[in-house]
Chains A and B, each alone.
Chain A
């Protein structure tokens, strides 16, 4: 029994599932928020999977998501701008989710990895996640 994989499984079922539900119904703004939340959760899931399988090279996937996820959300906010309206439902959840989720995943993994290049990469992913969360939540709030 691997606790990292168990946490990843719980995040897939309890995090990405509701995100899909949120993206499938409701106004356009709420859907974009759900998509942004899904990219954040996916990044955390991939980090947990790389630790769970014991393959540090899988961290690259999380790095790609941390860069491309906010880009995708910005594409949606730019092109759906007139339909979204200001402060779509669920916007308030974004910032706390990033600020709690990113450190809660990255810090234990850094401790498990020990100091070195791997830990630096993990910290970089955490910083990218927080920066991306700040940029996208501002863009979504403006509508």
Chain B
């Protein structure tokens, strides 16, 4: 049963990472990236490392997408001004 969970979490992480790589628009990429963070948190928990999962959740679910989206916004605004 444990193996099935590990395999499911690993497959989810692999799929999320592949999808994140193949997105073109950075803002939409950030959404997939946050899903990748969630999948990694499941993987770490399944592998009995909840402390790592906790750090991954705190960084991956809210902070990284926020920084990416703020950067995208700033870059776009500069582009408009020119």
Contact = CB atoms under 8 A, between A and B. Distances in A.
Given A45-B42, A80-B27, A38 B57 contact: no
Contacts of B35: 19-20, 23, 34-35, 38
Q: Interface residues of B: mostly helix, strand, loop or mixed?
A: helix
Q: Interface residues of A: mostly helix, strand, loop or mixed?
A: helix
Interface stretch (A63-71, A108-116, A126-134): A63-71
Contacts of B8: 9, 12-13
Interface residues of A, number: 42
Interface stretch (A53-61, A91-99, A117-125, A135-143): A53-61
B3 to A, nearest CB: 10
Contacts, number: 113
Q: How large is the interface on B (under 10, 10 to 19, 20 to 34, 35 or more residues)?
A: 35 or more
B2 to A, nearest CB: 7
B50 A58 contact: yes
A72 B19 CA distance: 19
Interface centre among A8, A28, A55, A71 (most CB of B within 10 A): A8
Interface of A: 1-2, 5-6, 8-9, 12-13, 16-17, 19-20, 23-24, 28, 31-32, 34-35, 38-39, 42, 45-46, 49, 53, 55, 57-58, 60-61, 64-65, 68-69, 71-72, 75-76, 79-80, 83
Kindly list the 5 A-B residue pairs having the minimum CB-CB distance in the complex, ordered from nearest: A79-B69, A72-B62, A24-B19, A12-B8, A31-B31
